[in-house]
Structure 1
Amino acid sequence: MSVDILGAYWTTAGPVEIRTGREWSLFDWPDRCAEAKRVGMSGLGLWHTDLEHLLERYTLAEIKQIFDDNGLVHLELEFLNDWFVPRGDEKRAASDGQRDLLFDAAAALDAHHIKIGNLQRTPATIDRLTEAFGELCADAADRHAAPLTYELMPFDVNAASLEAVLQIVGGAGAPNGGIAIDTWHLGKMAISPDDLRAIPRHLLTYVELSDGMQENMPDHTHETTRFRRLPGEGEFDIPGYVRALADLGYAGPWGVEVLSDALRALPLPEMFRRTVETSTAQIEKGLKA
């Protein structure tokens, strides 16, 4: 069975310091792309700070050429915060600069999607988020072909439920707007595979696999950035999620986003190999169910 695996940025970046220091990867882009090809991945992800770092050495055209030369086809870009903050606020000014970076890259790199959300935990109403998401999607449609995916997360202070995110994305009604589903977040939010059947197919844009433990650690941010597990190595029903999402019509790629100190400590070849092996086994198990 052929399975499209997209190695998300945090899964393939190696020893980075998420939210506390250097977020750009010490692994050069050609090395990441070559290793992805070797282990059979169909794509990779780029975080905005890593993209900024790469652009100190490569042009967008060169980043795209390296990606293409290795036979990779799916490229994820992330992450845009504070896109809903009113203009004139310093948070919005920083967000707009980040938007330009990601939108320009999406056009040049033919990105599969751009992931957005609220990692900064900035408060806003559902009505404001819905309006702003529609505005953001309209701007994106004028600048590139990549859809925007709102990521469902338990620590989103505005939309910490599947229903809320569907209300925002569905209410905006943008043809290039959808949701991103991450199984780690689903497990932590006690969202079952059957619960996912409430998602309209046209809003299901991207899926990420990540395993973990049912019991929460005291510090949620600490847990989500350092102690996730590869698919099949935790307690979440990864095959069940895969089956439910496939039944909805999702056809991939299957992103793998495992933020883990243990994974980051591995040599690059072993990191990529284990990502593909564990994920493929769980996806195949789910699709055969």
Structure 2
Amino acid sequence: MSSNDPAVLGSYWTLAGDADPNTDQLWSPWDFRERVETAADAGFSGIGILHPDLERVREQYSLAEMRDILTENGIEHVELEFIDDWFLESDDDRREESDRIRSMLLEAAEALDARHVKVGNIPRTSRPLDQVEEAFVDLCADAEAYDTRIGLEYMAADGNFETLQEAIDLVHSADADNGGIVLDTWHVAKGGANFDDLRDIPREDLLWVELNDGYVDPDMGRTEETTNHRLLPGEGEFDVVGFVEAVSDAGYDGPWGVEVLNAELRTLPMAELYDRGYETTASVLSDAGQ
């Protein structure tokens, strides 16, 4: 990797291999050290780790050993995910499990010098926005003690936000120095947002950007599409170059994530999958002037 190559983080689902988000096996079958070494060889300067995978990896490697592996291979950026149910009431059983994951990820974020921890609302649970905002402020305050950041991922059909703008407004109102919005090409496109409008997002509110591609109007259910048919950047129908140009105009200057959940890609050999993931992303970034 040369100094002119873009800084790209392979998200957990992009690099996990045969881990299926629709089953209970959410951890990668591939060894952590081998993943890190292969990702670095492919050109990635960052990787993502999902909480069930983190628990699995820690059965073999300590956090200190994981950090050494990352450092030895020049991996500079680490994303940890995912916290759901963080805005629920304290006496809700789902919140108890959320708090357990929260503590685990924040501890790991400090040990691994993680760039950020990603949170959101995959179950699409609805609560008043003032309650969500207060919980986001609290979460950012907790993360500050571990010297990490909190990224709120906007998701299409989110149970709390009808539009991307509502999520941006909440993050802006929360005014947490270590908190911001996470933009995923797929969710922004599926949520109906105009990519040109992304230029107006305040830079201080834009924490992380993930790239991928997809179909504009596929003949399949949303869950099937979301978890099995997202595409690598440049391999679908979205204007991913225009997306990159818009967030760059808003002031975002990387690193860039690539997050692709795709059943066919999960069957590829590790080196082939990683090389293809990096090369497609780098090509789109080059076309966008990055």
Q: TM-score range by the shorter chain?
A: over 0.9
Whether the 8 Å CA contact 1:153–1:160 is kept in 2: the answer is no
Q: Does 1:88 align with 2:91?
A: yes
Match of 2:15 in 1: 12
For 1:122 and 1:190, the matched residues in 2 are separated by 20
How big is each residue's C-alpha offset from its partner over 1:2-36, in whole Å with a ceiling of 9 and x where there is no partner?
A: 20110000000001121322010011111111111
How big is each residue's C-alpha offset from its partner over 1:42-83, in whole Å with a ceiling of 9 and x where there is no partner?
A: 010000000010111111111111111101100000000011
Whether the 8 Å CA contact 1:154–1:188 is kept in 2: the answer is yes
Match of 1:79 in 2: 82
Instruction: Please give the TM-score of this superposition, normalised by the length of structure 2.
Output: 0.96
How big is each residue's C-alpha offset from its partner over 1:217-255, in whole Å with a ceiling of 9 and x where there is no partner?
A: 442111111000010010001111111111122111110
For 1:112 and 1:19, the matched residues in 2 are separated by 27
For 2:111 and 2:79, the matched residues in 1 are separated by 13
Whether the 8 Å CA contact 1:201–1:249 is kept in 2: the answer is yes
Partner SS for 1:175? coil
Q: Does 1:252 align with 2:283?
A: no
For 1:29 and 1:112, the matched residues in 2 are separated by 19
Q: 1:216 offset after TM fit, Å?
A: 4.1
Match of 2:105 in 1: 102
Q: 1:113 offset after TM fit, Å?
A: 0.6
Identity over aligned pairs, percent? 45
Match of 2:234 in 1: 232
For 1:166 and 1:191, the matched residues in 2 are separated by 12
Q: Does 1:27 align with 2:30?
A: yes
Match of 2:115 in 1: 112
For 1:246 and 1:136, the matched residues in 2 are separated by 27
AA in 1 matched with 2:194: S
For 1:51 and 1:155, the matched residues in 2 are separated by 28
How big is each residue's C-alpha offset from its partner over 1:129-149, in whole Å with a ceiling of 9 and x where there is no partner?
A: 11111111111112x111100
Task: Name the stretch that deviates more: 18-27 or 269-278.
Answer: 18-27
Q: Does 1:69 align with 2:72?
A: yes
Match of 1:202 in 2: 204
Whether the 8 Å CA contact 2:106–2:143 is kept in 1: the answer is yes
Match of 2:281 in 1: 279
- Could you say if the C-alpha distance between residues 126 and 216 of structure 1 is closer, same or farther in structure 2, counting changes exceeding 3 Å? farther
Match of 1:133 in 2: 136
Match of 1:215 in 2: 217
Whether the 8 Å CA contact 1:48–1:102 is kept in 2: the answer is yes
Partner SS for 2:140? helix
- Unpaired runs of at least 5, structure 1: none
For 2:6 and 2:108, the matched residues in 1 are separated by 26
Match of 1:3 in 2: 6
Q: Does 1:57 align with 2:60?
A: yes
- Could you say if the C-alpha distance between residues 131 and 216 of structure 1 is closer, same or farther in structure 2, counting changes exceeding 3 Å? farther
Partner SS for 2:289? helix
Match of 2:266 in 1: 264
Partner SS for 2:182? strand
2:159 aligned residue (157, 160, 173): 157
AA in 2 matched with 1:125: P
Whether the 8 Å CA contact 1:242–1:286 is kept in 2: the answer is yes
For 1:155 and 1:61, the matched residues in 2 are separated by 38
How many positions carry a matched residue from both structures? 287
Match of 1:121 in 2: 124
For 1:44 and 1:135, the matched residues in 2 are separated by 26
Whether the 8 Å CA contact 1:152–1:160 is kept in 2: the answer is no
Instruction: Please give the TM-score of this superposition, normalised by the length of structure 1.
Output: 0.97
Partner SS for 1:52? helix
Name segments (4+ residues, structure 1) moved above 3 Å. Answer: none
